[in-house]
Amino acid sequence: MAQIQAATDAPEPTSRFVEVEGIKLHYLDWGGNPDKHTFLLLHGGAAHVHWWDTVAPLLVPYGRVIALDFRGHGRSAWADPPHYGPQWYTRDVKGILEHLKARVILVGHSMGGAVAQWVATQCREKLEALILIDSPNGPPPLLRRLKWRWRRRARGGPRPELKTFDDIKGKFRLSPPETYLSRADLERLAELGSLQLDNGNWAFRVDPRTRAWRKFEREGRKPRLKDIAIPVLILRGAQSTLMRARPSRRMHRTIRGSIYKEIPRAYHHVPLDNPRDTAAAIVDFVESL
C-alpha cells in the first residue's frame, strides 16, 4: 500500500472561477504537478468543495488537485432559470474539462459520482480514470428517496434566512446524518457552506431549488455502466446506509476490469469520515494505472 505521509504543512488551496455557459463556477486548486496526474473532485448533493479539504492535500504529491463547486452550490453562481440535475452538472464538468485542457482522474462522491458516470460515458477521451465513492448507478434506495421527497415539499422556494450563525450551526445536518466527524468539524462545514447577508441575517450558500430539480427537469435514464471503458475504482463506506454492499458489488461486476474496495470507519460521507484511507485507496489505484 502506498504510504500517505502526514501533512504538517498542508498546501492552502487557491479559489478560482471559470465561466461555463454563462454561469460563474467556483473551484479550489491545491496545486501539484499536472505532468503526473490531474485530479478533479466532485462533491455530492447540497455539499461544496470543502468536503474534500482533508483528502485533497494527501493527493497533491501525485498531481494537480482541483475540486469543483457545481452550479447552485458553494461559491458557484445560481442558475436562472433553475437548470439543475445530472444533465446540467455534467455540462459543468465538461466545461471545466475544456478549461483545464488536461486528461483528468475524475473522482465523484455520492451525486458527484453519478455525474462522473455520465461524463465517463460521454467524453471518455478526456478522462484518465474514474473513481466512484459511495455513489449509486441510478437513484438511491426507495426508502431514502421517500424521505427526501417528504423533505423536498418545503424546498424550492426562497432561500431561508436565519438570524445568527448559531442558528446555522444548529440547523446544519448531513444527509444521511451518520458520521465520525466531531461537532467542531460539522460546525466548520456549516461555516464554509454559509454566508452573512447584507441585512445581517445568515443563510446557506446552496440554492434550495437544487433539491427540487425534478420539478423543472426530466430525470432521464441512468448512465450505462457497460459503456465505461476506462480504469475504474469503486469505493464504499463500510458502514454506509445509502450505498449497500450488494449494489456496489453489482456495479463492480458490470464495469469490466473495475476495482472494488470498502473504506473502514466510514458511513456515506467517506471523504469526511476517513480521509486518510480514502486517499490511500486512491493513490494505490492511481499508481497501478
- Write down the pTM of the prediction: 0.93
Helix/strand/coil (H/E/C) assignment for every residue in 54-94: CCHHHHHHHCEEEEECCCCCCCCCCCCCCCCCHHHHHHHHH
Per-residue pLDDT tens digits of the chain, which is 289 residues long: 444 544 445 679 999 999 999 999 999 999 999 999 999 999 999 999 999 999 999 999 999 999 999 999 999 999 999 999 999 999 999 999 999 999 999 999 999 999 999 999 999 999 999 999 999 997 665 555 555 454 544 455 688 999 999 999 999 999 999 999 999 999 999 999 999 999 999 999 999 999 876 666 666 678 999 999 999 999 999 999 999 999 999 999 999 999 999 999 999 999 999 999 999 999 999 999 9
Architecture of domain 14-287 in this structure: 3-Layer(aba) Sandwich (3.40)
How long, in residues, is the chain?
289
